[in-house]
Amino acid sequence: MKPSLSAIKTLAKKKYYLLFFSFFLAFLISILFWQYDWKKTLSASFLVLLTNIFLCEGVAENNRFFKMHYQYTLTFYVILNLSAFFCLAIGAYFGFELLSTYFGVTLITILFGRKLGQVSAVFLFFVFSLAFPSHWAFLFSCLLIGYITAELTRNVKRRIELSSVAFLIGAIQIGLYLLLVLFGFERFRADFLWKIALVPPASTVFVIGLLPYIEWISRIYSNIGLLELGNLNHPVLKSLITRAPGTYFHSTVLASFAEVAAEKIGCNPILARVGSFFHDIGKITRPDYFVENQDGENPHDRIKPQISHLVLSDHIKSGIELAQKHRLPLLFEDMVAQHHGTRVQTFFYNKAKEIDPDVDEDAFRYEGPKPSFKESGILMLADSCEAALKSVGKLDSEKARNVIKKIVLGIFEERELDNSGLSLSDLENIEEAFLGVYLNQNRSRIAYPQNRTWFEVPQKTRASERKNGKK
């Protein structure tokens, strides 16, 4: 009988897999190096478990995304411990000189960030030290390589950049090995040079090959994967373009606001931009009920405000279902769910009040939740500001600034941003970023002299119509 999804989630949240990984790694070391010495195996299991808990867990628990989704914690430990397993196996059979932190650190850095990449380097150094204690100097160089790798891969956006980093790391690793030889910590062997140089490029091949599968299974995407999702050939975006073109145009304009604001306050501009493309995908199901897709008749004129509220709110649920169906990033699903927070649909609430003054305001609230990370909070602000600025027409700098400030202040006072991590200084920078994008998008152009022949049918077209028998 297969375990239920809820049972798997429970096991993942309680982190029982730490015990499994810790014993598994220690057992591997025992097989490869200690000839099944159970006392050493149990001691190593305990040490690896403590390292997992205190070193890795401490950093991971301070990461907002790890608290939001159990998949982050589970994927992190799977990659970390399996990379240690494969590196130990290679080192045991082919020589310690092939030990490298590059593979595990690169995968973890591009998926989870620099800090966890550096933590993983420390973990791998500790595990390698249990198996190869006599080569501590070489392993220390591996630790240093792990830190450098995390720094160099933290902002990788294209696969080719990984290749460049790999060759650079290979060169650095050769330099460190020669230094160890110079100071007498290692004996010089010519074959070590090409082995050490080839480990990072060979590891990069596996990183590039495994990354799409890891992203699809875990729904945790690197910047490389996020940029690929932003391609217009994605089936969800193609459907949005054809079925809800007004929503698509709104999303692309909104993406510019979100990207510049995210860059200004130091969070992930790629996540903010590509997430904005997908935030309204739920409107695909009923595009005609949203004003940006309407051409003439408004279906809300025929139904009650309460029904209109339910129809509009449904685009959140539909968007979440589409995100899950197409295995979009977990953070995209959060952005779909959170971009309206628990705000009131003011237009339909006021319309309902005209019919019944005692109508309950909470009946017109979105279900939420409120934004739980910075990029999601930026999306909420950008969504409201872009819509408001578009509705009032072209404004000068001062008037546009006032509109943006009013919108941002209103959302802040509604306490919708309490869980987002955005500070007051962040909000000020976001306002400036929004204003800059708006002014750049609405620059004046040269007024060309009008010519009435622009509006006339060209003579060649008329001649061809007569030739075809058209009058």
Is the per-residue pLDDT at 9 higher than 50? Answer: yes
Task: Give the 3-state secondary structure of residue 185.
Answer: coil
Confidence grade of residue 424 (pLDDT, cut at 50, 70, 90): very high
Average pLDDT on 167-171 reads 95
Q: Is the pLDDT of residue 1 over 50?
A: no
pTM of this structure: 0.88
Phi and psi (nearest 5°) for 341?
A: 55, -135
Neighbours of 66 (CB within 10 A): 19
pLDDT at 6: 55
Containing 325, the helix (H) or strand (E) segment is helix 305-325
The answer to whether residue 426 scores a pLDDT higher than 50 is: yes
Question: Is residue 28 scored above 80 in pLDDT?
Answer: no
- Residues 438-443 have a mean pLDDT of 86
pLDDT category at 471 given cuts 50, 70, 90 is very low
Q: What is the pLDDT of residues 52-88, one digit of tens each?
A: 666 656 666 677 888 888 889 889 888 988 888 888 8
Alpha-carbon distance 391 to 250, whole Å?
Answer: 12
Note the maximum CA span of the chain.
99
pLDDT at 208 over 50: yes
Confidence of residue 252 (pLDDT cuts 50, 70, 90): very high
Q: What's the pLDDT score for residue 131?
A: 78
Residue 365: DSSP 8-state: B
Q: Dump pLDDT digits (tens) for 95-143.
A: 888 889 999 999 999 999 999 999 899 988 988 887 788 888 999 999 9
Closest CA relative to residue 367, chosen from 334, 332, 339, 341 = 341
Q: Percent of the chain beyond pLDDT 70?
A: 81
Question: Region 338-356: what's the mean pLDDT?
Answer: 91
Question: In 3D, which of 193, 188, 192 has the Cα closest to residue 95?
Answer: 192
Task: Tell me the domains of the chain and their CATH numbers.
Answer: 5-221 (no CATH), 230-441 (1.10.3210)
pLDDT band at 43 (very low <50, low <70, confident <90, very high): low
- What does the pLDDT read at residue 36? 53
